[in-house]
Chain A
Amino acid sequence: MNAVMLTSYPRTLTVVAVLLTLLMLAYGGAMDAVYPSLLGVFEWLETTWFGVIGKTWGAAFAFVEAVHLLGLALLGGCVLAGDGRLLGVVLTDVPVQTVVERTHRIFVFGLSICIATGIFMACGVATKIYYLPVYWFKMLALSAGMLFHFQIRRPLLGHDIQNLNPVVVKMVAVASMLVWFMVAATGRWIGFSG
């Protein structure tokens, strides 16, 4: 029976292993070991073209920041439309599969804009954000959000929705909204810190 379970649930077991590893790393002092070595990387980022442009021309940095917000609007809109549909709150007379599939492309586009502009902005203020705990929370939330979206949510919603447990679908929708809200909120808070 145990051997059957191991082979029947590879994704679940991987997920449990990853979560346990993350917990051990977080409370086992692994971050303390890795963190000092990252300072050199962040100092180097400030010397790149992006870093120099971002530090020299405030207008360029501000414009890229505004584009980052537009990407956020696209990303957030798709998350709200898609997850809202899963919760049965918006677009209730449109098939779930249609909403989820059609919003995915725009979600990826919005996410790409956010990542590209985010890298530019990070280069401009690299040594400042290195010391901000809220920045590291954002990166954790962003990584979690991307992995969740592409490795958990999308494969799940690739199945026929009628055959899925509705409680699981709603929990996935809530979790998705929570994680992207955390990315946005911690991102906004970076601006108020340091």
Chain B
Amino acid sequence: MNELIYNLAVWLDDTEWSRMLHESYYMYNWVESTHVLTLMVSLGMLFLIDLRMLGLALPDVPASRIAERLNVPMLIGFAVMFITGILLFYAVPVRTSQSLWFRIKMVLLVACAVNAFLFHKRMNESVVTWDIEPRAPSRIRLGAMLSLTFWSIVVVCGRFIAYDWFDCDTSPNTLIDIVSGCVDGQTRF
């Protein structure tokens, strides 16, 4: 599996657009800046929704209204982050695909999506009974707490991708090599 991912990453790395993006004077910086600054839109809205479920934000506003009204800007923010994230990966595909932090981030993003789906499902089924309560029921609050935790770790992992502590050519042990997807110490920057 690691070899497959490595070969795909090398193929992407060999494309002209990947090289141009990676070596660009400003484009990579702008894409990264957009990715980071859009946090304020996507995670900002998400945090407000989660904090409402925990009763820590806008407690006198119906929870469903907060969730519905802030959903659209949140999803727009996530769309921008998704696109810029793909571009950032495309610019440096080999090193990124072999980054332990990137892999943890991807797993957590899937976990966040599953949690969001279950959260919305539970909320829609039960919201009529607790909409105007300052705090949501315990299961919804658990979903909100998980959301806050997962997303916080996503941000930390995203920040750590830039550091080379566990890069394939400096990796301290075999287990980290395997989890990171190192293939016989081969890597590219």
- Distance to closest chain A CB from B53 (angstroms): 14
Q: How far is the CA of A73 from the CA of B73 in the complex (A)?
A: 14
How many whole Å from B68's CB to the nearest CB in chain A?
A: 10
CB within 8 Å of A: which B64-109 residues: 65-66, 69-70, 73
* Contact yes or no, B39 A73, CB < 8 A: yes
Knowing A66-B156, A76-B40 touch, does A81 contact B33 (C-beta < 8 A)? no
Q: Given the known A-B contacts A73-B39, A76-B39, A189-B33, are A94 and B65 also in contact in the complex, defined by CB atoms under 8 Å? A: yes
* Chain A, 32-74, CB within 8 A of any chain B CB: 58-59, 62-63, 65-66, 69-70, 72-74
> What residues of A have a CB within 8 angstroms of the CB of B65 in the complex?
91, 93-94
Please, what's the 1-or-0 string for A112-132, where 1 marks a CB less than 8 Å from any CB in chain B? 000000000000000000000
Counting contact residues on chain A (CB < 8 A from B), the size range is: 35 or more
Contact B41 A80 (CB under 8 A): yes
Bound state CA distance, A76 and B44, in angstroms? 6
- Bound complex: CA of A185 vs CA of B47, how far in Å? 21
In angstroms, how far is the closest chain B Cβ from the Cβ of A13?
34
- Contact flag A192-B40 (CB < 8 Å), given A70-B152, A93-B69, A94-B61: no
**With the chains together, A65 CA to B39 CA distance in Å?**
14
**A98: interface (CB < 8 Å):** yes
Name the prevailing secondary structure of the B interface residues.
Answer: helix
**How far apart are the CA atoms of A78 and B48 in the complex, in Å?**
8
Interfacial chain B residues near A175, Cβ < 8 Å? none
* A69 to B152 CA separation, bound complex (whole angstroms): 9
A102 contacts partner chain B, Cβ-Cβ < 8 Å: yes
A94 to B43, CA, bound (A): 21
Which residues of A are found within 8 Å of B160, using beta-carbon distances?
Answer: 62, 66
Q: Ordered nearest first, which 6 A-B pairs have the shortest CB separation?
A: A77-B44, A76-B40, A73-B43, A66-B159, A66-B156, A102-B58
- Residues on A with C-beta less than 8 A from B162 are 62
The answer to whether B156 touches A73 (Cβ under 8 A) is no
Report chain A residues within 8 Å CB of B60.
Answer: 98, 102
CA distance A102 to B56 in the complex (A): 9
Do B40 and A80 touch (CB < 8 A)? yes
